[in-house]
Each structure stands twice: as C-alpha cells, then as structure tokens.
A and B are shown apart, each in its own frame.
Chain A
Amino acid sequence: MEESCGKCTPCREGVRHLYDILTDISGGRGREGDVELLESMSRAIMDGSICGLGQTAPVPLLSTIRYFRDEFDAHIRDKKCPAGVCKELVTYWIVEEKCPGCSLCLRVCPTDSIIGSKKVAHKILTENCIHCGACEDVCKFGAVVHG
C-alpha cells in the first residue's frame, strides 16, 4: 500500500480502501457483502492502473477469496479467526488442570485481567482482555490457550 507512487487514483485510493475493509473484517467489524465489494473494487483497480503495481496489487486478495472464501465468512459471520491470528477475534483462557497457579501470567498482564492466588488455578477476565498474548508467552506449563 505504501508503494503506490500516487499517479493513478484507483491504485492510490482503492488499495487503501481495500486495506481498510480487510482491517475491519479481521477486527470483527466485517459486514455481509464486504467480500463482493472487495472483488468489484479489485477489478476496478486492476483495470484502472497504468503499471504492474496497481494491476497486480489485488491479486493476492482475489486469490485468497477464490480459494479460502470460508475463512472470510468465518471472520464476517461467526466473528472467528480459524487460525487464531486476528487478535481482536481471539479469546484467551486458562486450562485449569494445567495451571499450577504460579502467578507469572498474572504479573505480566498489562490490563490486570487475570485473577487468582498462588497455587490456585488462575482465570482470565475476557471483558478487559486486550488479546495481547503476553500471558501465553510467559506460561511455562502451556496452560494459556487461545482460539
């Protein structure tokens, strides 16, 4: 997106809008019809750009829609990211049986969203969780999972 030289409007503005729509989808704010909108915009950008940059910029998008439509639908309809990558669509929780209550995650949590006391399994309060994954990174027991 940063690479458009700006000469052709469809490339300069269109690619930015594709990016915005995709950001919304991965942030759980996707709407029905977004995919169709992305497709028609992509075609307009490819037709309306002078050089190879604009003509091919939407290729990755169109091919992922063609082969991985179900993942787009999962983000838009079910508000889920099957691969567990899109932070805003991911929830973190602690598997009680694996958690020895070491309180390491509790201390690194930037929003104090983990509660519990020593040697008692901890719990993540989802309403304040910002999905940063810090707890999962520090857990030595594999007790923090996301999906």
Chain B
Amino acid sequence: MTVKRLTSPEDLAAWRGRIGPPYKQDRVTFVVSNGTCGQAAGSMDVLYDVHEAIEKLGAVELADIRATGCHGFCAIEPLILVQPAGVLYPKVKSDDVRAIVEASLRGEVLEKKVYKDTDGARYARESELPYYRKQNLMISGPSRWVDPLDIETYVAGGGYDSLVKAFAMGGQAVIDEAKAAGLRGRGGGGFLAARKWQSVRDAHGEPKYLLCNADEGDPGAYMDRALLEGNPHLVIEGMIIAAHAIGATQGYVYVRHEYPVAVKNLTAAIKQAREADLLGKNILGSGHDFDINVSRGGGAFVCGESTALMASIEGKPGEPRPKYVHTAESGLWGKPSNLNNVETFANVPWIVANGAASYAKIGTDTSKGTKIFSLVGKVNHTGLIEVPMGTTLREIVEDIGGGVPDGRSFKAVQTGGPSGGCLPADRLDMPVGFDKLWDAGTIMGSGGMIVMDDHNCMVDIAR
C-alpha cells in the first residue's frame, strides 16, 4: 500500500477513484472481525485458516481477506462475513473454514453453518439477523468493512470527505452545524458539544488543544475501544474537523493503558494520515495545521475526568481540581483546551456529511442521534449495539438482546456502567435518552448496560 501525499481535495477524490469500492465486485472478500474481543475468541486462528484454505484451493486470484475491528455481535465470535454477498458465518471452527471458503468461492451458501437464532430460525445474511434489525449502525457500521491498518479501506467508503466539506464550510459554520444537530457528549455528561467548542473558539490564548478521551474505565463498557480499534480514521477525521472548528493545532488522544490494540491501530492510522498529509502542516492544501499525539493512560479510573486527564498528560498525578476556571479557558498546560469522548468525535463526520437536519431527525427531543451501548449480563445476545436515542429498554433487552437466557426472568437493567442505576421491569418501556434516564434515577454514563435476572440480589449489586 502506498499512500500518496494529498495537496488538495481533488487529490483525495482521485485517490478514491484509484482504490475503487470497499469490496471488489469480481472477488470474494472474507471479512474476519479481529478486534480485541474477536482475537480472544480465536479470530487469529480463523484468519490463518482462511488464508490456508484459499491457498490450498488455488484461489489467491479470486479472494481477498480482510481483518477488521469489532462487528458488535460478541456472542457469535469468531465470525466470517463473506462479501459482497453479505453472508455471515458465526462461531467459526477451524474444521469448517475450508468448507465455508469453498462454498463461498462457488457463490453458494453453506446453509448448515449460518446463524441460528434462539428460536431455531436460520438467517444467512448479516442484514437479516434479528440482532441487527432494530439497530442503526450509522457510526459503528463502517467498522465492519474498514481495515484499521489500511487507510485505503476507510477512504474507499467516503472517508475524509467530511473533512473537505468542513474546511469549505469554515470553523464557525461547523460549530453551528453541530449545535443545530444537537450533538451531546457521549462520555456520560451529555453536555452540548457545540457549546464547549464555542467557548474554546472564543477563548484567548494560543495554542489551543483538542483532547480525545479514550480512558474508558467503566467495567462492561467497550464502545470507545471498539471504535478506536476498528475505525481509528473515523475518530481522527472527527478530531481534525473539531480542531478546525475551535482553532486547535495540537491534539492528544488519551488512551487507557489496558487497550494495547487500540494504541497500535491508532498509532498506525495517525502515521498513515500524516503520510497522506491529512495530519500535520497544511492539511489537504487548506492552510490548516493539526497533529495528534497518543498519550497512554495513567491507569486510574479518575484519570478519565477532564481536569485529572489533563494533569495526567502533563505528567502530574491524575487528580481532579475544582473547575472555578473552566478548562476551555485554562486547561492543558494552562491553555484553552477542549475534551470530548471518542464516540462524540466519531459522530462528527456523519453530521458534517449528512447535515444537521438529518441528524436531528434521529432520536428524541433532547437526545439526538444514536448511542452505542454495550449490552452484557444475563441476556442471550451480548455485544455492542447502536440504536437511535429513544429506543425503549424493552426493545434493547428483548428484541436485540434476545431476552434473558435459561428460562429465567428479567429483574433489572443497570445503565451507565457501575456508577449507573438499576431499573426494574416496569420501567422497560422507557425510551433511552440523557434526560429520561436521569429522571428515572440513573444515568446514560458511558453506555454500559448490564442485564440482571432473578438470581441477582439487588443489595449485593448495590454493594
């Protein structure tokens, strides 16, 4: 792979033209979900087996292999997704790989190995799965075709187009767009991103810093890791757009120490973006400068708090300080600083590309867009799910999650990770959103969602 230096938006378009579509239509692409979670389930072995099968069948000219980040459906890892047909093979075992590859090369579907739902029904195509039916994968979807170590797969799907558009719009217009979209911080606070950006843009002092919080500390929450690992360029693009909006020239991604794959993929992505002149001086010939450094976390949960995080980047102990002076005025190194969460940045390219009006159509009155939740605990289908704000807890637990396993009964769902509250069965019809959850005595938090059945003691949970 050779990355060409891009000196204008036309260069980017020409590059995309040379790359072609995300999948070659005349070849079969075997996609293996290879995030940290996939690797734990054995995806590295599957990748090797697919490679071997293709070679033994003499089909090197007919097939591609692509290792992507997390596809979200953890319960069925390791998986093979055959593209462009869209056929999904869950829980792949070494012995089955050759048969799957053979059938796929013939353009057939190996019926007995496709996904089988809890009710026994079989679904061959990924898009038909009940798990995905109620989801809206506008943010996490591209992770299913993007190879995080190959910038071309991101560019092929329209990557960095939003950046071109944002440069043409100008910084203030980007902030106005984010404001009209109603984008709220996905890290848990739910603060309006545009308001934060505006105060940093208006603040005096140079340079200005743009920080990305990837210190995802909540046990059971891993959407930020999945995004960083699976689609780092999406986060980078969101950061460049936000940096352009607030006038920042230096960015930091503060990554949790326990996320080595995220650090590796992000570092590789930053390097490729620099080589393509998408980071650094004079990005795409626009005259804007911005670069990103990766800072590895200090290890403590509290380092995810904004002032503690900045102290930690400066090399000081990660302790929060009272915010009489806002970080927008005096943050990192005493300069105006803006901090957003990974998922917040990941929303930015979509908003710029599709416009605030389309974004604001999704969700509820006060919570717009989608939210990625990690659905775990006593539920049949565990995994990362992305649903429009306003989806009810019942839809999440029963339709997407497939209900509580082993014939037990649902007791409670804890939203927002370990700092979140537990909601009982009679609150299941509540639509999720920042304010609705707060009124019910819990929080959106980072988006962890832990389902409990009648074998969980609530006093013990509270403890």
Q: What is A's interface to B at a CB cutoff of 8 Å?
A: 3-5, 7, 19, 22-23, 25-26, 50-53, 56-57, 59-68, 71-72, 75, 81-86
Contact = CB atoms under 8 A, between A and B. Distances in A.
Contact of A26 (B188, B445, B455, B463): B463
A59 B457 contact: no
Main secondary structure of the interface of A (DSSP, over half): helix
Contacts of A63: 420-423, 440-442
A71 B189 contact: no
A5 B323 CA distance: 17
A56 B320 contact: no
Contact of A56 (B217, B302, B443): B443
A67 B426 CA distance: 10
Nearest to B188: A52
A85 B463 CA distance: 12
Contacts, number: 116
Given A51-B305, A51-B320, A64-B421, A23 B463 contact: yes
A136 B69 CA distance: 42
Range for the number of chain B residues in contact with chain A: 35 or more
A65 B463 CA distance: 12
A60 B197 CA distance: 32
A25 B188 contact: no
A81 B462 CA distance: 14
Contacts of A57: 419
B458 A71 contact: yes
Nearest to A71: B458
B58 interface: no
Contacts of B455: 83-85
Given A62-B421, A63-B421, A67-B427, 9 more contacts: A3-B302, A5-B300, A50-B321, A56-B445, A60-B418, A60-B462, A64-B458, A71-B458, A83-B456
| Top 3 A-B residue pairs of the complex, sorted by shortest distance between their CB atoms | A63-B421, A85-B457, A3-B301
A40 B434 CA distance: 25
Nearest to B322: A50
A26 B460 contact: yes
Nearest to A87: B460
A67 B423 contact: yes
Interface of B: 188-189, 217, 300-302, 305, 307-308, 318-323, 412, 414, 416, 418-424, 427, 440-443, 445, 454-463
A4 B459 contact: no
Best-buried of B441, B442, B458 by chain A (most CB within 10 Å)? B458
Best-buried of A57, A60, A84 by chain B (most CB within 10 Å)? A60
Contacts of A67: 412, 422-424, 427, 441
A81 B459 contact: yes
B422 A60 contact: yes
Contacts of B188: 52
A58 B158 CA distance: 44
Given A5-B300, A5-B319, A51-B302, A59 B416 contact: yes
A5 B422 contact: no
27 contacts: A3-B301, A3-B302, A5-B300, A5-B302, A22-B463, A23-B463, A26-B460, A50-B320, A52-B419, A53-B305, A56-B419, A59-B419, A60-B420, A62-B421, A63-B420, A63-B422, A63-B441, A63-B442, A64-B461, A64-B462, A65-B462, A71-B458, A75-B459, A81-B460, A83-B454, A85-B455, A85-B456
